[in-house]
Amino acid sequence: MPSTKYIFVTGGVSSSLGKGIIAASLAKLLQSQGYSVTIQKLDPYINIDPGTLNPYEHGECYVTDDGAETDLDLGHYERFLNVPTSQANNVTTGKIYKSVIEKERKGEFLGKTVQVIPHITDEIKERIQTLGNTGEYDLIITEIGGTVGDIESLPYIEALRQMKWDLGQSNVLAIHLTLIPYLSAAKELKTKPTQHSVKTLMESGVQADILVCRTEHEIGNAIKEKLARFCNVDKESVIQSIDASTIYDVPNLMLEEGLDKVVLKKLNLKSDKPNLDVWNSFLKRYRNPKNKIKIGLIGKYVELQDSYKSILESFIHAGATNEVEVEIISIHSEYINKENVHSKLAYLNGVLVAPGFGERGIEGKIQAIEYVRVNKIPFFGICLGMQMAVIEFARNILNLKDANSTEMVEETSSPVIDLMQSQKNIVNKGGTMRLGSWECELKKESNAREIYNSNTIHERHRHRYEFNSDYLDKIESKGLIASGINSKTGLVEIIELNNHPWFIGVQFHPEYKSTVYNPHPLFVSFVKAGLEHSKLDL
């Protein structure tokens, strides 16, 4: 019998019910009882990965240590579990079909007709069990993207059905997340959508073992009994998931509902009281801030919060650490100009210029950076935000008025930001950027060195363009210091400004590594600087 047990989380009725948060919350509860747990996401789209998807389409693209461009749900997994994910934690339909087609071209199927069953489903099952076969995990939680009934999800549901038979019912568990809508006109919760969703799942050959019901109102015992009767589950397996004020409340809500106990009982595993002391200490600080600051988030995708999900969560972690409520003011960079920059930024305690690609909105970012540099407002630039800080400094301090990035103006005479040498012969866009974790050496007596309290760091990257080292001496001579350098490539990773309360730009993405248990030191320090700035107004 397999030593690793598998838990699947499917969704029905509606998208965006929070399968990733339920999966991460359950994993947190199991981990807190001593089990080794990881979570993977199966995405039904045919893209190989979300690396080429527009943030408006799919939210942010999350990057792992080993360079996988993945779904943003993997960020939730890491933030909850404080355990890194990898290439194996995100599987897409594009990856599945690509692998099967490549095997067919090599003749590995011995002339057989390649079909969805068994070849696609076998590939899916193999990918699902990749992490389990390492022997590192007691439990693998697999979130299946989309909703049951979607044509794209059918092969994944079929793979789940087969695994229940392959590994045995006590080794594979199906949790179905569904919606109990409230009809305000009737003042009544309705169970019929959930019944239909469970029926659709059963038509694919899968009986849900546990129902998790998203709801705006308490569903009560009567509705739980009704759902149990009509959906072929026992009453204790009907779990209420009521709307929470923060995603970080969900593990405790699931603990109150007994989700972890039911799961472990059905998998014939020992149940114990989860140790959530550190988690609840974080929640206590988060709920009881002593101060409040306003941070401007400047980007070009601010209409969609998921575009900057990891940044927003990093501010929650850092705010709790400092016992500060961080109010994020989203500011679209396209609408910042010289005439309105004061009114948009003067009242802020800090400004973060967000990552991104392309020329839309960059002049607004540059205008904002000039304002915070001159007016001594704490500044944090990430990836493109760091590059814009270099351009602003070159234009206004070095007097290189046409300074730019060759991403924006290919023929600029002052390319202070340029395409990486390794990228110049690359044609394909997907998966070809500088990705994953890279080492960085920090200069002694720099702010970065003091913040990290380390000589060497490892941070995750996702970019094609870099600081042009031909301009390094000129820029440093005027006070913009390269305080972090990649020891292997010489790439400038961190810039910071002398004679400023807090002015740091980083080429990497620190937001990808911030977790509840380990808030990122740069965000913690930036929020602290924002708090100090707020006291100047008193």
Question: Given 383, 459, 461, 500, which residue is catalytic?
Answer: 383
What burial class does residue 433 get, using C-beta atoms within 10 Å of its C-beta: 0-12 exposed, 13-18 middle, 19+ buried? buried
DSSP for 344-407 reads HHTT-SEEEEPP--SSTTHHHHHHHHHHHHHTT--EEEETHHHHHHHHHHHHHTS--TT-EETT
**Sheet containing 324-332, strands listed edge to edge, beginning at the edge strand earlier in sequence:** 324-332, 291-299, 350-353, 379-382, 503-506, 492-497, 480-485, 434-442, 456-463
Angle 491-369-56 (CA atoms, 0-180°, nearest 5)? 80
Q: Is 383 a residue of the active site?
A: yes
Q: Which of 123, 313, 493, 511 is catalytic?
A: 511
Q: Say how many residues make up the chain.
A: 538
Quote the tokens at residue 317.
């972690």
Q: How far apart are CA 532 and CA 49, in angstroms?
A: 41
Per DSSP, the residues of 438-466 read: EEEEEPTTSHHHHHHTSSEEEEEEEESEE
Beta bridge partners of 461: 436
Catalytic residue among 317, 509, 520, 533: 509
Find residue 70's DSSP bridge partners. 62
Q: Which helix (H) or strand (E) holds 55?
A: helix 55-58
Structural tokens at position 101: 């087609």
For residues 348 and 336, give the distance between their C-alpha atoms in angstroms, rounded to a whole number: 15
- Bridge partners of 292? 325
509 is annotated as an active-site residue: yes
| Residue 237, φ and ψ in degrees, nearest 5 | -95, 5
39 torsion bin: left (phi>0), alpha (psi -120 to 50), beta (else): beta
Residues 361 and 336: their CA atoms lie apart, in Å, by: 8
Closest CA to 379 of 359, 354, 398: 354
Q: Looking at the annotation, which residues are catalytic?
A: 383, 509, 511
